Amino acid sequence: MTRTHFLWQEKNAAGPFRTAVSLHSHTLHSHESLAFLPRYARRIPIVSALVAAQEAKYHATQGRPLDYGRAYWTPPLPAHAALALERSQIESLLDRQALISITDHDSIEACQLLRAMEESPSTPVSLEWTVPLSPSFIHLGIHNLPPSAAPAIARKLARYTAQPQPGLLKELLVELHEMEDVLIVFNHPLWDEARAGMDQHRAMARAFVESYGEWIHAFELNGLRPARENRDVLAFAAANSRPAISGGDRHGTEPNVNLNLTNAGTFAAFVDEIRREKLSEVLFLPAYREPAKLRHIEMTWDTIRNYPEFPGRVRLLDRIFWESEPGAARPLSGLLRREPGIVKCFVATMRLFNCARVKSALRAALAQKEEIAL
């Protein structure tokens, strides 16, 4: 059973619960596709023409199209800062015990670093696993791996991502499922992230669940996805007799906008509540009411702005990496003497959009016309 709560409607929604759980957030150890940059830029008047001009210039000088697939960016926050951000929101806003599971893309490095720190030895070892599926891919949140076995498991999952073998997928999911304290979540299941086509993506998601749903414990209500999509996810989860669970999907400096509420005192106890009791209490925080497009603009600005407090990762070019060959990635700041025109145009535009007066105008223009309800 899934129950959704909205803090702006239920001021004391957390009252009956002792713990709030933050699921699905990212740190600098997460490798993120750079495909978002041209995709967003092409939607912006004037900037779209500038992007096209820069791409044409690259093609003319290099003799080939600009391959965004050879580049990736990393979120700004190191592991300790990401953990502190999520914990601070729960403790200050809700006055509840915090359980936090960070899920970087195909990496457990942040979790291992946190477990080595004196103040966070019980941090769950988790990751967001990329599972290629024709014609696209899906993401699974794999939470609370056994710490001693986690490195070997992560390597096994990474090998599958690099060289998928459909016959092996069931074997891997069964192995994870048999670890009773592990939670397997179908992250943003109805988001056509790869732009394969909405109908194709949803057909793929349904086919995946028909084949492998036995080993999926919950479906994610994603904090970055619009309410209408999350409503469909709720129905999708119910049709498959699974609970829906929170997942903020934080990449920048805004903490997760949804959380799970529970009386569990440990992450393993929370997993038991979801897996065996199939009970999920999801709390949406006021930030979720902001227009989705405005929140995406704010998140994008978080990912590209300067961070003087993080030496070596201050500028965007320090956080974008280019693979000259597989496994050999270097930051653009070490490869380029100046910022590329496409990046410069994009950063300037996003800086303008994040000015207080422009944001206020955007908020009014993008205001939702209906009250969010799931």
Between 274 and 32, the more confident residue is 274
Q: Which residue has the tokens 């028909």?
A: 210
Q: Is the pLDDT of residue 45 over 60?
A: no
Least confident of 196-210, 249-263, 312-326, 351-365: 351-365
- pLDDT bin (cut points 50, 70, 90) of residue 286 is very high
The boundaries of every CATH 3.20.20.140 domain in the chain are 2-30+75-289
Between 219 and 69, the more confident residue is 219
Q: Which CATH number fits domain 2-30+75-289: 3.30.365.10, 3.10.310.10, 3.40.50.300, 3.20.20.140?
A: 3.20.20.140
Those residues whose C-beta lies under 8 Å from the C-beta of residue 354, and which sit 6 or more positions away, are: 297, 298, 301
Average pLDDT estimate for 334-345: 75
pLDDT digits (tens, 9 = 90+) for 103-145: 999 999 999 999 999 788 999 999 999 999 988 899 999 999 9
Between 322 and 281, the more confident residue is 281
Q: Is the pLDDT of residue 369 over 60?
A: no
- pLDDT bin (cut points 50, 70, 90) of residue 290 is confident
- Rounded to 10 deg, the angle between the 47-62 and 341-353 helix axes is 170
Average pLDDT estimate for 356-365: 76
Give the count of beta carbons closer than 10 Å to the beta carbon of residue 137: 16
- pLDDT bin (cut points 50, 70, 90) of residue 158 is very high
Average pLDDT, the chain: 89
Beta strand 218-222 pairing with 183-187: parallel
Average pLDDT estimate for 181-206: 93
Q: Is the pLDDT of residue 274 over 80?
A: yes
| Beta strand segments in the chain, E | 2-6, 19-23, 32-33, 71-73, 97-101, 125-133, 136-145, 183-187, 218-222, 244-247, 258-262, 280-284, 320-325, 328-331
C-alpha–C-alpha distance, residues 327 and 200, integer Å: 32
Among 64-68, 268-272, 301-305, top mean pLDDT goes to 268-272
Q: How confident is the model at residue 370, as a pLDDT?
A: 47
Q: How confident is the model at residue 360, as a pLDDT?
A: 79
Cβ 138 vs Cβ 200: under 8 Å: no
Residue in 93, 17, 91 with CA at minimum distance from that of residue 260: 17
Least confident of 45-54, 226-235, 325-334: 45-54
329: left (phi over 0), alpha (psi -120 to 50) or beta: beta
Q: Is the pLDDT of residue 169 over 70?
A: yes
